[in-house]
């Protein structure tokens, strides 16, 4: 029997031509592909990004991972999928698991890695991060010369975000939806508003770009994939 293997594949930020050549070649040759969906019966965004590269022989398994605060429900979902993947690999199959952006950055894939490390053969394929894409699209440097870069989730306490903006010259603020007004106030307080840009759904058809954060309406509902990039040595133009 052929030796099975699991490939964790970062799909990149959203545009189908921003996945790596290695990822595209693998997707054509797999036996099974696991695609996470945020809601039951919902389409997997990662799957829609890579669909054109998937070989005809590939069995696609969409699996729902609950977006819930119920830790037990989450653990059970991860346990179940980990066992299913392990069984496929042990049957000699070449198995893929796709995840948005990069597999090792704020990715739910890591919960599977925890469960499968040292049990099966795993190869992780890096992907372009959303903020790398945003920096390129906005022509806004992520990090320069002696600068340090912090990548923060805006689900953190405001004091934690304030500390990051003080301690680092460049900061990426992810998951900003729902917290935007507070985060903007923090940037104003630190004198950084003109050193920040915001982009949502980077590289996708519904991309939204705010080079000037003062133009965002107060209370405006921002998309889930909204990210702010801050660099105190660069101003938006």
pLDDT of residue 37: 86
From 1-10, 32-41, 53-62, 192-201, the region with the lowest mean pLDDT: 32-41
Under CATH, what is the fold of the domain 5-125?
Cobalt-precorrin-4 Transmethylase; domain 1 (3.40.1010)
Averaged confidence pLDDT in the chain: 94
Is the confidence at residue 105, as pLDDT, over 90? Answer: yes
**First CA to last CA across the chain, in angstroms?**
59
Report, as an integer, the average pLDDT of 35-44.
Answer: 75
pLDDT of residue 1: 59
Is the confidence at residue 4, as pLDDT, over 90? Answer: yes
**Fold agreement between 5-125 and 130-231:** no
The CA R_g of the chain, rounded to the nearest whole Å, is 19
Quickly state the pLDDT bin for 65 (edges 50, 70, 90).
Answer: confident
pLDDT of residue 44: 87
Residue owning tokens 């490939």: 7
- The C-alpha atoms of residue 216 and residue 220 are separated, in whole angstroms, by 7
185-213: per-residue pLDDT in tens? 999 999 999 999 999 999 999 999 999 99
Report, as an integer, the average pLDDT of 2-18.
Answer: 96
Report, as an integer, the average pLDDT of 218-226.
Answer: 90
pLDDT of residue 39: 66
Candidate CATH numbers 3.40.50.1390, 3.20.20.60, 1.10.443.10, 3.30.950.10; the one for domain 130-231: 3.30.950.10
Are 80 and 67 within 8 A, CB to CB? Answer: no
So where are the chain's domains?
5-125, 130-231
Is the confidence at residue 151, as pLDDT, over 70? Answer: yes
Give the CA dihedral 67, 60, 84, 100, nearest 10 degrees. -40
Beta strands at 226-231 and 196-200: parallel, antiparallel or unpaired: antiparallel
pLDDT of residue 19: 97
């Amino acid at each position: 029997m052929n030796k099975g293997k699991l490939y964790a594949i970062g799909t990149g930020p959203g545009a189908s031509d921003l996945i790596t050549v290695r990822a595209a070649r693998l997707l054509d040759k797999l036996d099974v592909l696991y695609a996470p969906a945020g809601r039951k019966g919902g389409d997997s965004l990662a799957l829609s990004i890579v669909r054109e590269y998937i070989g005809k022989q590939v069995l696609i398994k969409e699996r729902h991972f609950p977006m819930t605060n119920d830790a037990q429900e989450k653990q059970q979902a991860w346990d179940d999928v980990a066992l299913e993947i392990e069984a496929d690999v042990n049957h000699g199959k070449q198995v893929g698991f796709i995840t948005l952006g990069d597999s090792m950055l704020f990715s739910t894939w890591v919960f599977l890695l925890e469960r499968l490390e040292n049990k099966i053969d795993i190869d992780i394929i890096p992907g372009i991060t959303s903020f790398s894409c945003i920096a390129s699209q906005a022509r806004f440097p992520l990090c320069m010369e002696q600068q340090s870069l912090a990548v923060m989730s805006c689900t953190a306490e405001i004091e934690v975000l304030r500390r990051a903006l003080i301690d680092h010259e460049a900061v990426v603020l992810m998951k900003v939806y729902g917290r935007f007004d507070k985060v903007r106030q923090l940037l104003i307080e630190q004198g950084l508003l003109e050193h920040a840009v915001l982009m949502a759904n980077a590289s996708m058809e519904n991309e939204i770009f705010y080079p000037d954060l003062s133009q965002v309406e107060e209370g405006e509902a921002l998309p889930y994939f909204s990210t702010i990039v801050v660099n105190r040595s660069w101003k938006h133009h």
